[in-house]
Copies of this chain bind each other. A is one copy, B any other.
């Protein structure tokens, strides 16, 4: 396949080099060490070394980093012939997005004398924003070129930062684990993009849009890492002390409960009473999404488990009954089912957060109220009003995500980005040099290439 349209010989290098050079120039002019990473500033002040934010957040950062690069990357390797692209494009767009997010978030979170100050917290935030882009990637998986993905990442990171700024800085919303800012935003943005990029003839690639035995095991590496480290994700940027501790614990129990409801629902709904790997790989994670907002609050393990349980139920039901409807009626081809893993559980998480916030009181939080709800503690808003703000934030997020996805979707339709034809979606060999498979039939170890991949490569 030497189709000029999908050939990346020049398109990808030009895109990568221009983007990276722009990033380097902007970092050179705008970015500085913050007072915890700058040698002079740190030593100018009186600190003990263990007070450096590095020791409070770096282990959580590394867990989040694993979720972004291994978790998302391998979760998407379930497709039989799209493993290179799943891990590889995930790697590429994440490496770009985290740099761009540093600039966009730094710009909106407040400049210091015209400069963006960075440290471990900004690194976590950049990874969070990247996570949102990877959720959208899940919706369009298999149907986009790497250049399209980089362009999508560029716009999505920007809109993410705008939405995050409106929520966290203007409205005073609380959303430490990003049920709204990350999951709802990423899911509905991606769903709208894939709607605009609707391919009526995608069934020509249907035979590749499924898993094989080993690809499902690779995907489980992604699933399990996401599941294990979600407590670190939700607690990574909460306040030091009891807040990080409590958030991690709430998430731990939510996920455990979600896993049991996922297995139960999968056996109940799947073909012949057998478990469906798609449910296990995805719905078991919905419990982490659904306590993204309320996890730092005094939700209690009891409350977390109820939320996790419900998230697993609606996520499996979504995969089983809603996804086919979305595809048939609304023409939304959602490859990974991000609506079921990030969309609906994200909305659930926003609602749970609003309710939990509305119930906050000094009676329950004591002196810790100012960590979780600074505006309530300061008397600026009532708890009820905070709950209302949380609910309004969901609407804002949905609006920006859907509108943004609409516009970006049309941009990505431009024929210059090298999207694959309908007949060769979900196929690595269009963008990668793919080795053959080992074969043993005639008793001799030989590496063969399939006729199809020969054809694609010739």
Cα(A447)–Cα(B51), bound, Å: 56
**What mask results when residues 259 to 303 of chain A are scored 1 for a CB within 8 Å of chain B, else 0?**
111011101101111111100100010000000000000101110
Cα(A298)–Cα(B229), bound, Å: 32
| Inter-chain contact B24/A309, CB cutoff 8 Å | yes
Q: Identify which of residues 91-120 in chain A touch chain B, using a CB-to-CB cut-off of 8 Å.
A: 91-92, 95-96, 98-99, 102, 118-120
Q: Does A214 contact B (CB under 8 A)?
A: yes
CB-CB under 8 A for A445 and B435, given A39-B246, A56-B50, A457-B272: no
Cα(A104)–Cα(B263), bound, Å: 23
In the complex, which residues of chain B have a beta carbon less than 8 angstroms from the beta carbon of A32?
300
Cα(A225)–Cα(B157), bound, Å: 25
In the complex, which residues of chain B have a beta carbon less than 8 angstroms from the beta carbon of A284?
91, 95
User: Which of B54, B277, B280, B365 is the one whose CB lies under 8 Å from A40?
Assistant: B365
CB-CB under 8 A for A432 and B255, given A39-B366, A457-B272: no
Q: Does A200 contact B (CB under 8 A)?
A: no
Cα(A186)–Cα(B147), bound, Å: 37
Please choose the segment from A81-89, A173-181, A402-410 that sits at the chain B interface, where 4 or more of its residues have CB less than 8 A away.
A81-89
Measured CB to CB, the closest approach of chain B to A50, in angstroms, equals 6
| Inter-chain contact B445/A450, CB cutoff 8 Å | yes
| Inter-chain contact B49/A241, CB cutoff 8 Å | yes
In the complex, which residues of chain B have a beta carbon less than 8 angstroms from the beta carbon of A277?
84, 88, 432-433, 435
Total copies of the chain: 3
CB-CB under 8 A for A267 and B58, given A441-B441, A443-B452: no
In the complex, which residues of chain B have a beta carbon less than 8 angstroms from the beta carbon of A256?
95-96, 98-99
CB-CB under 8 A for A51 and B50, given A146-B263, A435-B216: yes
Measured CB to CB, the closest approach of chain B to A454, in angstroms, equals 8
Residue tally, chain A, CB below 8 Å to B: 157
| Inter-chain contact B263/A12, CB cutoff 8 Å | yes
Please choose the segment from A158-166, A204-212, A337-345, A346-354 that sits at the chain B interface, where 4 or more of its residues have CB less than 8 A away.
A204-212
| Inter-chain contact A245/B36, CB cutoff 8 Å | yes
| Inter-chain contact A39/B433, CB cutoff 8 Å | no
Cα(A27)–Cα(B308), bound, Å: 14
CB closest chain-B residue, reference A455: B443
Q: Identify which of residues 333-392 in chain A touch chain B, using a CB-to-CB cut-off of 8 Å.
A: 364-369, 371-372
In the complex, which residues of chain B have a beta carbon less than 8 angstroms from the beta carbon of A441?
441
| Inter-chain contact A228/B91, CB cutoff 8 Å | no
In the complex, which residues of chain B have a beta carbon less than 8 angstroms from the beta carbon of A423?
none
| Inter-chain contact B27/A263, CB cutoff 8 Å | no
| Inter-chain contact B450/A443, CB cutoff 8 Å | yes
Q: Given A16-B264, A27-B301, 20 other A-B contacts at CB below 8 A? A: A8-B267, A9-B272, A20-B261, A24-B257, A32-B300, A33-B298, A36-B242, A43-B242, A70-B224, A92-B260, A95-B255, A95-B256, A96-B259, A272-B457, A274-B429, A274-B433, A275-B432, A276-B432, A443-B450, A443-B451
Q: List 28 A-B contacts (CB under 8 A).
A: A10-B268, A12-B264, A19-B260, A23-B305, A27-B300, A31-B302, A38-B242, A39-B371, A41-B242, A43-B242, A62-B231, A65-B228, A70-B224, A70-B225, A81-B438, A83-B213, A83-B216, A87-B217, A88-B277, A91-B280, A98-B252, A212-B435, A213-B434, A214-B214, A271-B433, A272-B457, A275-B431, A444-B450
